[in-house]
Amino acid sequence: MENNINSTSHLSVPNLSIKLEELRNSLRPGQQQLASWTAGKMAISAVPGAGKSHSLAVAAAMMIAQYRLHPRKQLIIVTYTRSAAAGIKAKIKERLKELKIPQTGFMVQTLHGLALNIATRNPDLSQLNLETSTVIIPTPSHRVIRSSVEKWISGNPRRYQLLLEGAEFDGEETERLRRQSVLRTEVLPKLAHTIIREAKSSGLNPEKVWELSDYSQEHYQILAIAAGLYEQYQIVMRSLDFIDYDDMILGALNVIENPKIRQVWQQQIFAVFEDEAQDSSPLQEKLISALASKENDCNLIRVGDPNQAINSTFTPADSVYFNWFCETCKSQEKLAEMTQAGRSSKIIIDAANFVLKWVNGQWEYESKKQRKKHINSDISEDKKEVIPFRLQSIETVSKDDPQPNANPEAVGEGLELYRPDDIYHTVDLIKERIIELLNKNSDHNAAILVRENRQGRFLAENLKELPKKHKIRVYEVGESERFSQIPSEILNLLQFIDRPHSPDYLKNALEILQNRGLIPSQDLNILATYPENFLYPSSLIPEQKKPVLEARRYCCNLLQAKLELPDYQLIPFLGMTLKYTGAELATVQKLSERISQELVGKFSLKSVLNVLREIINSEQFEGIEEDSEERYTRQNQVTIITMHKSKGLDWDYVFLPFLHEDVLPGNPWVPTAAKFLGEFTLAEVSRAQIRAAVHHQYINPENTLIIPNPDNAWQEAQQLKKAEEYRLLYVAMTRAKRLLWMSAAKEGPFRWSVFKADTSINLHSKVPCPIFPILMKQFPNSVIEYLF
């Protein structure tokens, strides 16, 4: 290979090789393989706590020193978040300082940062001009998605009619209008959102999705609907000069398709290191591979943990590609495994390993049973059996490991398993344990990891006394996310007050009231179909049921306020109506003041709506703030955070309450309102269908492409979801250093999404997460009996 790889003997500092040797010796076995990389592709599969970022930084510094890298020949390190990029950059600089080497020769960037860098240098090739374009994140409720849906509906009456008719339809008018509302405001926006991200980040344009739709012979032709929506989306985006995150990568790829420019980039790049490779999408992989290539070689090192892939069922991240990359590298003896980890006490490691093996074992047992039962005709031949976990056990580190206090001594039983009576009893037990632990060791930290923010809110409300009475800080991470929703909640209610006869505005308002637990949950489409009949029913309308009446009372109160209150008092009134708490009310107050400042003398409902829309649109990006790890892991603090967000962090004591089967792993769920289409959701089916096509392209393009039918695609999506939930549990468990506290209360809310933290509410008996009783059996000493 011709890429100027000089050996250390050329280095001018004689002591450098000794220093480099010392550095190499400070690494663990798998880490050393990373540091000894010389050329070509390499995969590193690591376990939680193995020191991925630590060894990546050491290996990068060693490489910069050995190969005398400089700004015109650099090592590129790609990460997925800005905070991870900042962390690795600081670590590499530190090492280079120790080696007395200039802190150049490398660049740490997020993948999108890198793509943007490439794309903006050649706007004519990338067709991206950031000075005139606006970057958006098209959520299902974004106006771009909504307008793409409307355009698709008006251009495709036949396909739309087929959806309206669903699995069965007797032609009844009210039902037809209800279905229209469900399709326009829920099903199609969700389908558009999913399919556009999935297809785009797999490198498929609308034409390609059209082609794929020819391979699928099913009733609705979901892929054809998807292709049409995607086509409309591209038109709407172009007309508004908007771009999304995938456009940045596509733009960069367009640039480096030019042979001359590609050569310039490739010459400047010595090698590419990718961190968190399990979260890559095909498009991202394509970009980094292209940058790392030189003639017939590709200097690409990908580091990841397939067992921590927890984004693949709701984003286009798909760990299958990293798994395949690992397999290919393995066959070429280019796979290294980092299996030693010093983060946790031995018993916590044992429990995590046990979960991994048990889940995989169950999986194999279940799929054998399934295979015996029926042979699926449309499962493509090249489909490999995907098991939830890569069989990779975590090991404790060796005695001479340089990590201070590696595999620390367990606190209490190290692993503690509880079956509290109910969710209130759970908080009492957690509270008591936290007070005891942090009072004894105020330099330690703790976290309660939850599956959904509602659980976090419930915990925070019930742990209020910790700061004052016990001097223990409580940091509920979801709280700031709730604050960021306030402007759009207020906007939605004001839009309804302004135009109560709009079914869309009424539905949005009802959704907010329902999400905040102010009105009973029900099919809102029925209420929103005829706003007039719902808000002001005449004697000809059948008597409204109690949940409808409650919803109506709230809505009528809002409309009454418009008549009775001056416009400038509407926002504070809405804050009260939504039962915002102290800090939330303060945010409402601030929002109200800001609007007043902008509208001096011109205050009207219409002008308020305009200003609010502007605030929401322009602040979308400020919302994504730089995360600093430090605020999540402060000593003497208990952090309440979702399991998803806990990835990459660790705490001395980790609490995992509410481990119930209906949440973890959860059950397949189709919203009742959309059941008329069948026992599946179009969005999930389309994702599985696109993935089947893209996987086929990767593994065996010569075979005939088989797109799974909706029922099979749905089954597959559900299996992947279940596997991901178990990986999420594994990520959560491996955050603990000294104590892992897990519980499954005997009673809890029917569903957290409709739970009101009110002691008078009926609790339901709950089934524990299937792994919980097995863990109790496997670790009998960890089962804790309690006195109250």
Ligand X SMILES: Nc1ncnc2c1ncn2[C@@H]1O[C@H](COP(=O)(O)OP(=O)(O)OP(=O)(O)O)[C@@H](O)[C@H]1O
SS3 302: strand
Check binding of 28 to ligand X (CB under 6 A): yes
Measured CA distances, 505 to 143, 178, 228, 497, 786 (Å): 13, 15, 26, 9, 51
For residue 387, the one-letter residue type is: I
Q: Which of 575, 610, 609 lies closest to 589, judged by CA?
A: 575
Looking at beta carbons only, is 22 or 461 nearer to ligand X? 22
DSSP string over 246-269: HHHHHHHHHHHTSHHHHHHHHHHE
Residue number closest to ligand X, CB atom: 51
Please answer whether residues 467 and 473 qualify as being in contact, where contact means their C-beta atoms are separated by less than 8 angstroms: yes
State in angstroms the smallest separation of the CB of 734 from ligand X: 6
State in angstroms the smallest separation of the CB of 117 from ligand X: 25
47 is in an annotated binding site: yes
Q: How far apart are CA 500 and CA 516, in angstroms?
A: 20
Residues in region 459-518 near ligand X by CB under 6 A: none
Q: How far apart are CA 67 and CA 6, in angstroms?
A: 6
51 is in an annotated binding site: yes
Q: Which stretch binds ligand X (CB under 6 A): 26-34, 138-146, 413-421, 597-605?
A: 26-34
Sheet architecture: strand order including 300-304: 106-110, 74-79, 269-274, 300-304, 41-46, 335-338
State in angstroms the smallest separation of the CB of 101 from ligand X: 20
Q: How far apart are CA 363 and CA 357, in angstroms?
A: 10
Looking at beta carbons only, is 112 or 735 nearer to ligand X? 735
Q: How far apart are CA 641 and CA 190, in angstroms?
A: 26
Check binding of 27 to ligand X (CB under 6 A): yes
State in angstroms the smallest separation of the CB of 470 from ligand X: 28
Q: How far apart are CA 211 and CA 378, in angstroms?
A: 19
52 is in an annotated binding site: yes
Among 110, 403, 441, 610, contact with ligand X (rule: CB under 6 A): 403
Looking at beta carbons only, is 651 or 655 nearer to ligand X? 651
Residues in region 712-751 near ligand X by CB under 6 A: 734
State in angstroms the smallest separation of the CB of 735 from ligand X: 8
For residue 639, the one-letter residue type is: T
Among 206, 282, 316, 342, contact with ligand X (rule: CB under 6 A): 342
For residue 230, the one-letter residue type is: Y
420 is in an annotated binding site: no
Looking at beta carbons only, is 218 or 275 nearer to ligand X? 275
State in angstroms the smallest separation of the CB of 513 from ligand X: 39
Angle between helices 503-515 and 477-498 (to 10 degrees): 150
State in angstroms the smallest separation of the CB of 215 from ligand X: 39
46 is in an annotated binding site: yes
State in angstroms the smallest separation of the CB of 650 from ligand X: 7
State in angstroms the smallest separation of the CB of 52 from ligand X: 4
Q: How far apart are CA 212 and CA 216, in angstroms?
A: 7
Q: How far apart are CA 745 and CA 611, in angstroms?
A: 47
Please answer whether residues 402 and 726 qualify as being in contact, where contact means their C-beta atoms are separated by less than 8 angstroms: no
Helix and strand element counts for the chain (H, E): 31, 18
Count interface residues toward ligand X (CB under 6 A).
21
Check binding of 648 to ligand X (CB under 6 A): yes
Looking at beta carbons only, is 52 or 738 nearer to ligand X? 52
Looking at beta carbons only, is 277 or 578 nearer to ligand X? 277
Q: Which stretch binds ligand X (CB under 6 A): 27-35, 362-370, 508-516, 570-578?
A: 27-35
Looking at beta carbons only, is 305 or 416 nearer to ligand X? 305
Q: How far apart are CA 716 and CA 154, in angstroms?
A: 32
Among 3, 8, 17, 26, contact with ligand X (rule: CB under 6 A): 26
Q: How far apart are CA 84 and CA 78, in angstroms?
A: 10
Check binding of 402 to ligand X (CB under 6 A): yes
Residues in region 30-89 near ligand X by CB under 6 A: 31, 46, 48-55
Check binding of 343 to ligand X (CB under 6 A): yes
Q: Which stretch binds ligand X (CB under 6 A): 21-29, 293-301, 521-529, 758-766?
A: 21-29
**Binding-site residues from annotation for ATP:** 46-53
Binding site for ligand X (CB under 6 A): 26-28, 31, 46, 48-55, 305, 308, 342-343, 402-403, 648, 734
